[in-house]
A and B are shown apart, each in its own frame.
Chain A
Amino acid sequence: MSASILCCCANGSGTSLMMAMTLEKVVKAQGYKVTKTHHCSLSEGKNSSMGYDIVLCPQNFTNMFDMAAKKGVKIIGMRNVMSAKEMTEKLENCGVDLK
């Protein structure tokens, strides 16, 4: 299976961009099949998150995506947005087949 992944932070220009760069590394290293990735602000992401399989965001923002979570989108809160190790572990355990 392949998945689409959204990286989201408050402004869409700092933290989410770092997450997107970490994700790029992780996807390459693990050989994940990813159809689409995008990074954006919370205000944009709240609406568009429904269209993704997985949302990555800083840990304290996970509850902003309750609506999407109810629709089956996997919400992953990151403690360290630069950690490829943490991101890999959390993606492996989120229940979406990325291989």
Chain B
Amino acid sequence: MLKEFVEKKHTIFVDECKDWQEAIRTCVKPLLADGTVTAQYPEDIIDNVGKYGPYFVLIPGVAMPHAQEGGGKVFKTTISFMKTQKPVQFDPDDPDSYADLFFTLASCNHDEHLEHMAALMEVLQNEDLLEDLHQVTCDQDLLKLADQYGL
């Protein structure tokens, strides 16, 4: 999965984002660049946060932004990776609601999506790997971890 992020150019590394809206628009950029999603997709995600809150912050430090499956705005099934140096705060009233690791989901094929999600869950449940992921600053770092953990 980590190697795939690099191979598909689905990685982005930034110092900081001025707010969570900018973070959402930024983490979707690699998916926009190769036509996986349209420009409407990040706006849908932002609308969702407005409606439901940042429920996709899975654990402190890790976000999994996504909007509805398919819907004519998603043309490939994939996951994109973003690392911010400075964590992005979502809900100002919830100190746990921040992320510096973003796994942005796009899905138009349910079976393929299921496979990706199982792989992502394996990554997120590996505490050592997660700790190392919080330190990455470039594609080379990701590839190193991919080799180290065989993922």
Measured between C-beta atoms, what is the minimum distance from A60 to chain B in Å?
Answer: 5
Decide yes or no: A81 and B58 within 8 Å by CB, A13-B107, A17-B117, A18-B121 being known contacts.
Answer: yes
Decide yes or no: A14 and B59 within 8 Å by CB, A82-B121, A82-B124, A82-B125 being known contacts.
Answer: no
**Bound: A42/B56 CA distance, A:** 14
Query: Which of the candidate stretches B6-14, B45-53, B141-149 sits at the interface with the other chain?
Result: B45-53
Residue among B48, B58, B67 making CB contact with A82, cutoff 8 Å: B58
Chain A 14-53, CB-CB to B under 8 Å as 1, else 0, gives: 1101100100000000000000000001100000000000
**Bound: A21/B64 CA distance, A:** 16
**Bound: A9/B58 CA distance, A:** 12
Q: How many residues of B contact A (CB 8 A)?
A: 22
Question: For the complex, is B66 an interface residue (Cβ under 8 Å from A)?
Answer: yes
Measured between C-beta atoms, what is the minimum distance from B48 to chain A in Å?
Answer: 6
Measured between C-beta atoms, what is the minimum distance from A27 to chain B in Å?
Answer: 16
Chain A 70-91, CB-CB to B under 8 Å as 1, else 0, gives: 0000000000111000000000
Is the CB–CB distance between A15 and B124 below 8 Å? no
- What residues of A have a CB within 8 angstroms of the CB of B48 in the complex? 10-11
- What residues of B have a CB within 8 angstroms of the CB of A17 in the complex? 113-114, 117
Residue among A10, A12, A41, A82 making CB contact with B59, cutoff 8 Å: A82
Q: Which residue of B lies closest to A21 (CB)?
A: B121
| 20 additional contacts (CB under 8 A) given A15-B56, A15-B58, A82-B124 | A10-B48, A10-B51, A11-B66, A13-B105, A13-B107, A13-B113, A14-B64, A14-B66, A14-B105, A14-B117, A15-B55, A17-B114, A17-B117, A18-B64, A41-B68, A42-B52, A61-B55, A80-B59, A82-B59, A82-B125
